[in-house]
Structure 1
């Protein structure tokens, strides 16, 4: 009687061991038509498994482990805004994918496995194509074309203001970077996949937990073996040049040849000068590279939480933009900088607003103008002077007839400008004097000036010879120099010519209108005027400079090893030539 239960248990165990282990059906829609945002997928099986996984491409998005707590777990993937469990049991596992976009197109796979003896594994795949689910794409920039071992992978993402930014590398989310607009991660060969090795960096924006937009970029792996091959090839070329130089050297056949060759020291001096020039270029390249690295660090520092840190980064960025023309470097970060500056002008404190207003015109002239400044932070004491300078700058653009009509019908009139010469603020007095000169230059023949020239000349003479000691010495000097030129114009109808050196060119200001234009640009750009004038066409037009010639392509930079090998080859050739010259001299003197 005891044998029957034992036989039954043995038969059941044998049946369990021999049970089929396979996936019977994988139900995934082949095409998702436009307008359908939710689909259901199902994996049916006949197996006694311990783990079930759903994949899209190489990325897992759902896991079912019977007996575990919790037994199911889902993972975010691009293209699928929501993964919902319908039912998972001993015969089938059914899911609902919601908020689909075109990124959901791909190969879907269901895997089952048994990780206890007897070990078994089964998989099945199906392709799903999603149509017509377009979505907003955020702006992704800053990713380099290639990376090597332990390089810093940096990227910046700008999405909607109310969206949460999430970062993905090769389709897998970097959870510690969630909510950050910038990505910084150290490069490693392990994250580059495929042939040739590539890494995919994706930026996605989520609203209320649902995917609303995504953008991706790819970068290559920089193979160190290829760079070593290039270095060896360059070294072989340099050595071949040295050998060629040796073969071309001939023995001296006479004292006359020796006497002629004694001038080889001149060649040595010339080659030495070329070496100095190459060293100078190397130093210049190093300075440029360090400056570009510093600018990238400053752009990243604009994300700092402290107001003072952001303001300090803007001040440093202003100095960098005034020293060099960096349009090539800023091309990949222009939208990010524009977003930072616009936000600081709107919501920043006084220091931030002032620094952002100073950086905005420099950034706008570094290549294409894509930054719009909605306001500037200036001190209250110079508002009137700034308004007068702006009026004079716009007035200089008007035709003579239109300018006279403006003076007759719209303020400020010449009488009002004359009153402003009595202002207590020096900048207001100087701005009023400049505005008077511009207005008279554009409408000198109009009757609006009749009867006001005598009091105007008297007041200008007084300001040009101001003897008051209570004014600051610097203010007195500046006022006298300014109003002497204005007085000379009204008395002799002659504009003192002003020539200003801008880089290798000279800006000639022979009218009060051109002076106003140069003063406004110099005040806004500062030292950046010299760096931007050779490259910015609108700036050259405003300064009445001729069109700049097309820029030559940037010279290819040699790496440090190539420059070192080239300098060594030149030094060796120069040493050989000098030694032969000394031997010739010794032989000539001994005779």
Structure 2
């Protein structure tokens, strides 16, 4: 007897809904694009020969796919595509590729900022900055800035928007303006937008506010933009803010106190550069406040917060009292860069936060970034030399293990009560 045929209809006589392309499928496909960015680097570290031209073509092909996915209906897919593009732009120099697709990328970023939720907006804002960094200072990056700046300002000023999205937009709006704009009006309006945020802390009781993290980002972005202003504008801002900023040192949020202290040190540095005879009338009460913060031992504050605060404010106190700065040296490849001022320190820290692990590569190869830090044109290094400068994972692991063993032996020797005290003298 033949078997009865099964009906293609579900119970109740209704057709089943068949989805040709689901969010999960799209996210898996997108993740496969994003995860493959590390393939070339991993092969290079293992010493396997790689056809660089073919690898570059494959890399750009995957980037094209990610650009297309930024217009997908699925929010998860768009966010994963933005993350992949962010990883790609922060790890390589792609000027030619970006120039050909600048308008498409700009439109995608603008759309994601307008329609996306918090996490998508944060990644899109960072991608806008990376796009400007790839294009460098010029007409192309200025057009990108003028397209995305109104949207970023809207999010920053929107009290109903997610706080983390507002923080990211405040950070990257300031950085985009720093990179791209040549128009003084754009610079001043962006600074005014930031001022409207962090000056609210001046009137807060004890300097505390629910949006203190947003105000910190606004203060840092405003300070970064102040470093490229004309001396006359710097003097105006000093007259307005130098007497009010010390109020933020009483904030209950440690990060706000630190941001205010570093901003004060930078303002004093700019003031002394503009006027060698600069004198601040309220210097004595300010130094007393800084000394108390540099030696703070209040038990109601976390131990890590106290340690971090004391370290920063010792440097701030020296900067304000003596005009001194503790220099740092950054090594990348065969080159060295000296961080010898508060302005340079702030600029380096901002770009390092943007590029992440790709900062050293961009310091080596990015013409625009090198011009900011006055490093000159990039050195002509072949691929073999660049690979030779990289430390393999095994070497890093062995070095870390050796250092850990040395620390453990030294500490155990000091902690061993059976050791004769005379052995150490």
TM-score, normalization by structure 2: 0.57
**Alignment check: 8 A CA contact 2:212 2:256 kept:** no
2:328 maps to which of 488, 498, 506: 498
Counterpart secondary structure, 1:534: helix
**Alignment check: 8 A CA contact 2:90 2:358 kept:** yes
Kindly name which structure, 1 or 2, has the bigger radius of gyration based on alpha carbons: 1
Deviations 1:394-425 (A, max 9, x none): 333356565334423xx21x221111111122
Residues 396 and 279 from structure 1, CA distance in 2 versus in 1: closer, same or farther, beyond 3 angstroms?
closer
Corresponding residue number in structure 2 for 1:325: 93
Deviations 1:2-58 (A, max 9, x none): xxxxxxxxxxxxxxxxxxxxxxxxxxxxxxxxxxxxxxxxxxxxxxxxxxxxxxxxx
Corresponding residue number in structure 2 for 1:437: 265
**Alignment check: 8 A CA contact 2:93 2:366 kept:** no
- Give the Å deviation of 1:468: 3.1
Deviations 1:84-107 (A, max 9, x none): xxxxxxxxxxxxxxxxxxxxxxxx
Corresponding residue number in structure 1 for 2:360: 530
2-side partners of 1:367 and 1:385: how far apart? 28
Residues 279 and 539 from structure 1, CA distance in 2 versus in 1: closer, same or farther, beyond 3 angstroms?
closer
**Alignment check: 8 A CA contact 2:269 2:323 kept:** no
- Give the Å deviation of 1:279: 6.0
2-side partners of 1:538 and 1:349: how far apart? 32
Return 5+ residue gaps in structure 2 as ranges: 1-43, 157-164, 168-210, 384-425
- Give the Å deviation of 1:501: 2.6
- Give the Å deviation of 1:549: 5.3
1:389 maps to which of 213, 220, 239: 220
Aligned residues, how many?
A: 276
Deviations 1:164-210 (A, max 9, x none): xxxxxxxxxxxxxxxxxxxxxxxxxxxxxxxxxxxxxxxxxxxxxxx
- Give the Å deviation of 1:341: 0.4
The answer on 1:427 being equivalent to 2:195 is no
Residues 279 and 524 from structure 1, CA distance in 2 versus in 1: closer, same or farther, beyond 3 angstroms?
closer
2-side partners of 1:279 and 1:493: how far apart? 49
Counterpart secondary structure, 1:499: strand
**Alignment check: 8 A CA contact 2:293 2:309 kept:** yes
**Alignment check: 8 A CA contact 1:392 1:434 kept:** no
**Alignment check: 8 A CA contact 2:109 2:124 kept:** yes
Residues 312 and 279 from structure 1, CA distance in 2 versus in 1: closer, same or farther, beyond 3 angstroms?
closer
1-side partners of 2:282 and 2:114: how far apart? 44
Residues 326 and 504 from structure 1, CA distance in 2 versus in 1: closer, same or farther, beyond 3 angstroms?
farther
TM-score, normalization by structure 1: 0.42
Residues 405 and 339 from structure 1, CA distance in 2 versus in 1: closer, same or farther, beyond 3 angstroms?
closer
CA RMSD of aligned residues (A): 3.3
Residues 551 and 300 from structure 1, CA distance in 2 versus in 1: closer, same or farther, beyond 3 angstroms?
farther
The answer on 1:297 being equivalent to 2:65 is yes
Q: Which has the higher contact order (CA 8 A, sep 6+)?
A: 2
Deviations 1:408-466 (A, max 9, x none): 3xx21x22111111112222212211221121112246887443222211221222222
Structure with more helix by fraction: 2
Counterpart secondary structure, 1:501: strand
Corresponding residue number in structure 2 for 1:415: 243
Return 5+ residue gaps in structure 1 as ranges: 1-275, 554-591
